[in-house]
Chain A
Amino acid sequence: MPTRIDPRGPRFAATLTAVVLAVVLVTGSTWLLALQGLVFAAGAFLGLQRAPYGLLYATLVRPRLGPPGELEDAAPPRFAQAVGLVFAVAGVIAFASGLTVVAYVAVAAALAAAFLNAAFGFCLGCEIYLAYRRLFPSQPNTTEVAS
Chain B
Amino acid sequence: MPDVTGLVVVVAVLAAATAFGLWRRARDGRVVEARVDDALLGPDELGEPLGERATLVQFSTAFCQPCRAARATLKHVAADTDGVVHVEIDAEHHLDLVRRLNILRTPTTLVLDGDGRIVRRATGAPRLADVRAALPALRA
Contacts and interface: CB of A to CB of B under 8 A. Distances in A.
Interface of A: 22, 25-28, 72-73, 75-77, 79-80, 104, 108, 111-112, 115-116, 119-120, 122-123, 126-127, 129-131, 133-134, 137-139, 141-145, 147
B128 interface: no
B136 to A, nearest CB: 22
A127 B105 contact: yes
A112 B14 CA distance: 7
Interface in B92-140: 92-100, 103-106
Contacts, number: 104
Interface in B37-62: 38, 40, 44-45, 61-62
Contacts of A142: 93
B98 A22 contact: no
A19 to B, nearest CB: 10
Given A72-B68, A130-B104, A116 B17 contact: yes
6 tightest Cβ-Cβ pairs between the two chains A and B = A120-B21, A79-B63, A25-B6, A26-B6, A129-B63, A112-B17
B97 A22 contact: no
B1 interface: no
Contact of A145 (B13, B18, B44): B44
Interface residues of B, number: 38
Interface of B: 5-7, 9-10, 13-14, 16-18, 20-21, 24-25, 38, 40, 44-45, 61-65, 68, 91-100, 103-106
7 contacts: A25-B9, A27-B6, A79-B63, A122-B21, A127-B105, A133-B91, A144-B96
Contact of A111 (B13, B65, B68): B13
A138 B13 CA distance: 33
Contacts of B7: 25-26
A111 B10 contact: yes
Given A76-B64, A130-B98, 12 more contacts: A73-B68, A76-B65, A77-B65, A119-B18, A126-B65, A129-B63, A129-B106, A138-B93, A142-B93, A145-B96, A145-B97, A147-B40
Contacts of B98: 130, 134
Given A26-B6, A75-B63, A145-B96, A130 B24 contact: no
A145 B99 CA distance: 12
A123 B103 CA distance: 18
Nearest to A73: B68
A141 B91 CA distance: 11
A112 B91 contact: no
Contacts of A104: 5-6, 9
B59 to A, nearest CB: 8
